[in-house]
Amino acid sequence: MSEHDRHRTLEVGVLLYVITGLIWLWLGEPLLARWIDAATPAAPLPHRLSFALFMVVSSVFCYGLLRFHLRCLRQAAQARDSAILKQTEVQVQERTAALLATTHTTCRSPEAIVTCPCKGV
């Protein structure tokens, strides 16, 4: 999954959180209040606006936390990949040195001096 797709998924998730919360505040809460007790009026508009503000602020906070978490995951993956790359490079250098040493040892035998591929080394 690319970085753009991760951010898009994150944004869609937070947007669904906000939309669901606002629908619940504007429609669900008054319907629930009427269902429990028909005489109970719904919350006044300023009260619902404060809930809506809370939904928006909490969604921004949630979005920030999720982005921070994604950044930490990305940094951990990069550190892991870098460590694997360094380890692989060290193994390749060790193997190359061992092969070169073996090649030079066999080339120094009296029979192989004439046909040595590393004659100039």
Judged on CB neighbours under 10 Å (0-12, 13-18, 19+), 39 is: exposed
**Six token digits for residue 118:** 């590393």
In a domain, 118, yes or no: no
What residues make up the domain containing 74? 3-107
In a domain, 90, yes or no: yes
In a domain, 40, yes or no: yes
| pLDDT-derived band at 95, boundaries 50, 70, 90 | very high
Query: Is the pLDDT at 114 greater than 60, yes or no?
Result: no
In a domain, 11, yes or no: yes
Please report the pLDDT score of residue 118 as a whole number: 58
| pLDDT-derived band at 91, boundaries 50, 70, 90 | very high
**Six token digits for residue 40:** 């109970």
Nearest Cα residue to 45 out of 64, 74, 17, 25: 25
Tell me, yes or no, if the pTM score tops 0.75. no
The structural domain count of the chain equals 1
Task: Give residue-wise pLDDT tens across range 10-26.
Answer: 888 888 888 888 888 77
Please report the pLDDT score of residue 48 as a whole number: 76
In a domain, 119, yes or no: no
In this structure, the dihedral spanned by the alpha carbons of residues 52, 57, 58 and 62, taken in order and rounded to 10 degrees, is 140
In a domain, 44, yes or no: yes
In a domain, 116, yes or no: no
Q: Which residues contact 9 (CB under 8 A, 6 or more apart)?
A: 1
